Structure 1
Amino acid sequence: MTAIAMIQALKNTDSHLGLFLRQDRAAESKFLAYCEMYQKIAAYMEYFRAAGVAAGSRVLFPFETTEGVIIAFFALVGLGAIPLSVKPYSMGVVKESYLEFLTKVTTQYQAEFVLEAPSIRSLELSLQRLQLPDTDIQPQESANFATITDTDIAFVQFSFGSTSFPKGIPVTHGKIVAQMQAIANHAQNRPSDATASWLPLYHDMGLVGGLLTTLYLRHNLHLSTPMHFLMNPVEWLSELSEKKIAIAVIPDFAISYCLRRLAITDPEEIANLNLTQLRMVFNGSEPINIDKLHQFLEVLAPYGLQATAIKPCYGMAEAVLMISCCKLEEVPRIVTLANGCKAISVGQALSTFDIRLRTEDGLLCHEGEVGEVELRGGTLVDNYFESERPFYNCDGFFPTGDLGVISEGELFVTGRLNDRFKINGQSYFASDFEHAIESLPFVQPSKVATIQADDRIIILIETKQASVLQQLIDHQRQVSEIVLNQLGIKIPVDNILFIRPGQLEKTSSGKLRRIAIAQAYITGKIMLAKNARNGC
């Protein structure tokens, strides 16, 4: 089976099944039945074919969560073209940097067109623009699909690493279908299931886990944008309740973000919240904050959220998406590592993957021993797109750069290889420090970074709260104490810096680029928050 077969299957889907799309600033969702979506895809295909797009055409694709762009994606796949899925231009993004990024992707991957998504219409680009058709384009009953095989490339997604330029990952038709089927099998989907996602579509978890798998199953999908969630996370919870959502996909920071908003929400506002239908919440993309997860379950248990609902999972773009996930009816296990920190299970690897761990010395790890996660088989791609860089090691395994332990057959991811600190003979991870510090009421989720510079552990906290800066020493001491109490490590208050917002550089998927942050600190480019007198 190919992704084209998935598109063709939409044609005969019942008219009450489809996409409920809520775009930024929209008061209500717009419903698009899958059978109507098929007709629009067919019309877009003819429109793009007339514009010169053919099988194999490479199209730079700023993947916005808008109806026209979503239809365009499926139309290009149907033509056998290759969408290069990238982050769209958005508020807060430096225009020059974005243009430089697009130029580099265009050059490196030989793009022929750029989809003129709404966000880039004002940008000056040298590529041939592929305009979206008018919104009133006449739907078509049938389409002339490309003849492709399961080894042909469906689209290219990118691994937005924290240390290098994004690497293109060619996702073949066979790999994407196998991955969607694996996710569906793991979730034990039921015909009446509805899914909700607000993750961006240029990210593997939003595209594969949210959009594609749901369309593959032809279940109702309630799709919105990250901005919609960030503006009102409590409303998102209410929508899960009202729409009787069974499956959702989230990054871990969403849990801390919801908790902060729930803490200041009038109980009357959520009195009718009912989350009993929510059976599986795929929680991935970043390290799991165990304390916040438990708090989230405790706070929402009176509203029907089951302890088994939140499912930590492990995946990456190189594997198309999911590699492992906790079982449906199980509460994730927690183990205590040698350094005293806790780690949560992300389940057993899917049956088609081989997984092993190796120590720094290259030896295979014993049960419970920390090592680098290496993978083989499953939906791992064969290589990076247009790259001669070796993908597999000499044993035929892919070194992920992630560290973890295996206990009773389950994987526990502990951090990234480049985010590990050796202190007093023990390994600690940046996320251990960050999760501890985020438990403080004056620290916002994803606004803290731990780096190592000149053999010192430095903690950088973004803030613009006057109350924090006016009592700086006291808040520095609170940070030092929470790290000491939870990790047993003493951080001098002079190494705890409150900095101006917007300086903690992140990848497009929201992960901290700690090497870039450390370099900015070392070169004196990190600016303290106003009134903060702790020097860099």
Structure 2
Amino acid sequence: MTDDALQPTPNRCALERRFSDFATFGEALDYAAQGSRGLNFHDPRGNLARVYPYSELRDDARAMARRLVARGIRPGERIALIAETGVDFAALFCGAVYAGAWPVPLPLPTSFGGKDNYIDQLAVQLASSDPQMLLFPAEITEMAGAAAARQGCDGVTYEDFRASPAADSALPEQQTDDICYLQYSSGSTRFPHGVAVTHKALLNNLAGHSIGMKLEPDDRCVSWLPWYHDMGLVGCLLSPIANQVSTDYLKTEDFARRPLAWLDMISRNPGTTLSYSPTFGFDICARRISSQSHVSERFDLSRWRIAGNGADMIRPDVMQGFVNAFAEAGFKATSFLPSYGLAEATLAVTIMPPGEGIRVELVEEERLSGTPRDLSRPARYRAIVNCGKAVKDMALEIRGENGKPKGDHQIGKVWCKGPSVMHSYFRDPVATEECLVDGWLDTGDMGYMADGYLFIVGRAKDMIIINGKNHWPQDIEWAVEQLPGFNHGDIAAFSVETDNGEEAPAVLVHCRVSDEDKRVELRDQIRDKVRSITGMNCVVELVPPRTLPRTSSGKLSRAKAKKLYLSGEIEPYKLLEAA
């Protein structure tokens, strides 16, 4: 069959849709394989390159499971997989599940950080998950092989594993309370603890997706999200399987090079109605199109019913910028569907009801920080985004420092409870007990409830406390972003200890200016801007572009930025001190 003859899997088929009402994930794939829907992989320009019906995925996965059994893999053992978007990872992940082993998705190397850092990252996650094997694409053999050797597990390329013999034996029976897979949460303070997710928890959460988004018979999904991150893996691979949705994929690295290929795919593929992205994905597309015209001629986003948004703080100004850029292509603001979740809850905790769009409340900064209002200064407000209502079977509480629930519009720690909350952190009962109390999960995030809707304020661990007053790093970062020439992710704010022993806010900023005098001017401008917004003097350090560290999902890691800065691994530009 030539590429020209490829036909994508259909949106609708004769198989009656079931909303993830299965006992195990293997059972879910067995059912999806009875229909004609499936996965569709695209090249860097968004052209269809490989069609992979669920029936073929099931056959491949069961063959992979028998190869694992032939290698002596037993139920409960871990199989680490480098999560490349494609046929091999999908078949191996599902194959490990059929074999009763626990697949452990791990990240691909990124364009930042370097080879040694990637090997170190893999080695840490391998040490934590203790797998029997690490399977990976041939092109990263040197790095992945080095990490596997350091851990003492087998390192095998996808290609070599496919060519290995398979056992001719029955596969083990799966039980709904068995662990299905381990997930590493890229931004978690508990990293590198693997989140152990049972079949029951996974399928309950996937049912929550379909019911919360009100899936329709003709819905089709497009995704560029990485499969080692919970939103990409659970939301855009496992959920389409368990809810029988045809899905089109663009590799994450191809999106990074050509972001608008994502919107081209949505426009070109008939019936595309679902696609998710963190805030920065919408932001980069709006920025790329700002200098171009004829938006309506290139794109047709009128069928995009659910533009899901999650995985990082949702910024209403960015969302409005996307609407402004693509309204003439038919995109509707009501298509936005904010959500909130974390790997420790499998994925989704809340989802905005479809059609309600981005809704915000303006909240005084003093309320956010829990400090008395300074009446000598004008009130300042932050727009807090409504992240929707709890998914199926999920309970929510906002608790104070004393552990007692708070009322509506009272800010506190977000706790959740339900069948999709994680089983545990793998081999770490202490960390598990710290965040799981009587079945309730301490998410580590701050927020408040209002009429059944959840509003997320920020992560408690990121809070900057200066002179007894709380400040959110997002407020400082956003202040700097208002200056020309800065993009989302160019700034990291955190607290540091000064020479006199007091805490002060520090801001690391990517600097693209080479002139010394211009750099000094920029530094002073940033200081003034932060002071005008927060009333605080801060340490401003200009650092080379692409210096600030990211999590495996591409989000800014403030904790790591602080660590690297204090250790001297991030070297700021040397500037003259301001007079």
Cα-Cα RMSD: 2.9
| Matching of residues 191-202 of structure 1 within 5 Å | 191-202=217-228
Matched, 1:379 2:420: yes
Describe the shift of the 1:425–1:107 C-alpha distance in structure 2 as closer, same or farther (beyond 3 A): closer
- Separation in 1, partners of 2:436, 2:198: 22
Deviation at 1:144, TM superposition (A): 4.4
| Matching of residues 15-164 of structure 1 within 5 Å | 17-22=37-42, 28-122=48-142, 123-124=145-146, 125=149, 126-133=152-159, 144-161=170-187, 163-164=189-190
Task: Verify the 8 A CA contact 1:197 1:210 in the aligned structure 2.
Answer: yes
Aligned to 2:559: 515
Task: Verify the 8 A CA contact 1:51 1:130 in the aligned structure 2.
Answer: no
**Structure 1 SS opposite 2:333:** coil
Task: Verify the 8 A CA contact 1:203 1:509 in the aligned structure 2.
Answer: yes
Task: Verify the 8 A CA contact 2:341 2:350 in the aligned structure 1.
Answer: yes
Ranges in structure 1 where 5+ consecutive residues have no aligned partner: none
Letter in 2 for 1:63: A
Task: Verify the 8 A CA contact 1:382 1:391 in the aligned structure 2.
Answer: no
TM-score (norm 1): 0.90
Aligned to 2:305: 279
Describe the shift of the 1:398–1:135 C-alpha distance in structure 2 as closer, same or farther (beyond 3 A): closer
Deviation at 1:104, TM superposition (A): 3.6
Aligned to 1:475: 522
Describe the shift of the 1:250–1:292 C-alpha distance in structure 2 as closer, same or farther (beyond 3 A): same
**Structure 1 SS opposite 2:364:** coil
| Matching of residues 294-305 of structure 1 within 5 Å | 294-305=320-331
- Separation in 1, partners of 2:452, 2:162: 54
- Separation in 1, partners of 2:51, 2:278: 25
- Separation in 2, partners of 1:230, 1:470: 33
Deviations 1:11-33, CA, capped at 9 Å, x for gaps? 3222xx32111356886532222
- Separation in 2, partners of 1:285, 1:372: 18
- Separation in 1, partners of 2:42, 2:298: 23
**Structure 2 SS opposite 1:341:** strand
Task: Verify the 8 A CA contact 1:88 1:119 in the aligned structure 2.
Answer: no
**Structure 1 SS opposite 2:425:** coil
- Separation in 1, partners of 2:195, 2:211: 24
**Structure 2 SS opposite 1:207:** helix
Matched, 1:329 2:374: no
Aligned to 2:27: 5
Task: Verify the 8 A CA contact 1:194 1:246 in the aligned structure 2.
Answer: yes
Deviation at 1:90, TM superposition (A): 4.5
Ranges in structure 2 where 5+ consecutive residues have no aligned partner: 1-22, 366-380, 498-502
Matched, 1:400 2:443: yes
Deviations 1:362-403, CA, capped at 9 Å, x for gaps? 443232121111122241013211111115555542211101
Deviations 1:470-505, CA, capped at 9 Å, x for gaps? 6234434554455456xx32455x733221133322
Deviations 1:331-356, CA, capped at 9 Å, x for gaps? 33211223121201001222412211
Describe the shift of the 1:164–1:383 C-alpha distance in structure 2 as closer, same or farther (beyond 3 A): closer
Matched, 1:459 2:486: no
Matched, 1:489 2:511: no
Task: Verify the 8 A CA contact 2:46 2:262 in the aligned structure 1.
Answer: no
Which of residues 334, 350, 353 is equivalent to 2:391?
A: 350
Task: Verify the 8 A CA contact 2:345 2:421 in the aligned structure 1.
Answer: yes
Deviations 1:130-162, CA, capped at 9 Å, x for gaps? 44356997999x994430110011111112345
Matched, 1:447 2:490: yes
Deviations 1:83-142, CA, capped at 9 Å, x for gaps? 1222134454443343344344334433211113335422332312344356997999x9
Task: Verify the 8 A CA contact 1:325 1:349 in the aligned structure 2.
Answer: yes
Matched, 1:288 2:335: no
Describe the shift of the 1:269–1:397 C-alpha distance in structure 2 as closer, same or farther (beyond 3 A): closer
- Separation in 1, partners of 2:181, 2:115: 25
Task: Verify the 8 A CA contact 1:323 1:349 in the aligned structure 2.
Answer: yes
Larger mean CA deviation between 226-235 and 121-130 belongs to 121-130
Task: Verify the 8 A CA contact 1:163 1:513 in the aligned structure 2.
Answer: no
Describe the shift of the 1:109–1:137 C-alpha distance in structure 2 as closer, same or farther (beyond 3 A): closer
Describe the shift of the 1:164–1:501 C-alpha distance in structure 2 as closer, same or farther (beyond 3 A): farther
Task: Verify the 8 A CA contact 2:476 2:530 in the aligned structure 1.
Answer: yes
Task: Verify the 8 A CA contact 2:279 2:318 in the aligned structure 1.
Answer: no
Indicate the percent of aligned positions where both proteins have the same amino acid.
Answer: 25
- Separation in 1, partners of 2:44, 2:421: 34
Deviation at 1:177, TM superposition (A): 1.0
- Separation in 2, partners of 1:139, 1:6: 26
Aligned to 2:248: 222
Letter in 2 for 1:184: S
Matched, 1:260 2:263: no
Larger mean CA deviation between 3-12 and 150-159 belongs to 3-12
Deviations 1:229-285, CA, capped at 9 Å, x for gaps? 121122221221111420011111112211221122x21365242111101122111
**Structure 1 SS opposite 2:51:** strand
Deviation at 1:330, TM superposition (A): 0.9
Task: Verify the 8 A CA contact 1:344 1:412 in the aligned structure 2.
Answer: yes
**Structure 1 SS opposite 2:408:** coil
**Structure 2 SS opposite 1:174:** helix
Task: Verify the 8 A CA contact 1:383 1:391 in the aligned structure 2.
Answer: no
- Separation in 2, partners of 1:378, 1:435: 37
- Separation in 1, partners of 2:160, 2:439: 49
Larger mean CA deviation between 318-327 and 52-61 belongs to 52-61
Deviations 1:26-56, CA, capped at 9 Å, x for gaps? 8653222222222222332333332333332
- Separation in 1, partners of 2:439, 2:246: 40
Deviation at 1:10, TM superposition (A): 3.5
Aligned to 1:172: 198
Describe the shift of the 1:533–1:509 C-alpha distance in structure 2 as closer, same or farther (beyond 3 A): farther
Describe the shift of the 1:86–1:272 C-alpha distance in structure 2 as closer, same or farther (beyond 3 A): closer
TM-score (norm 2): 0.83
Describe the shift of the 1:435–1:255 C-alpha distance in structure 2 as closer, same or farther (beyond 3 A): farther
Deviations 1:494-519, CA, capped at 9 Å, x for gaps? 73322113332222123333233223
Aligned to 2:16: none
Deviations 1:397-426, CA, capped at 9 Å, x for gaps? 221110111122211111111212346875
- Separation in 1, partners of 2:169, 2:208: 29
Letter in 2 for 1:354: A
Letter in 1 for 2:394: F
Task: Verify the 8 A CA contact 2:398 2:413 in the aligned structure 1.
Answer: yes
- Separation in 1, partners of 2:440, 2:512: 46
Letter in 1 for 2:332: Q
Aligned to 1:505: 549
Aligned residue-pair number: 526
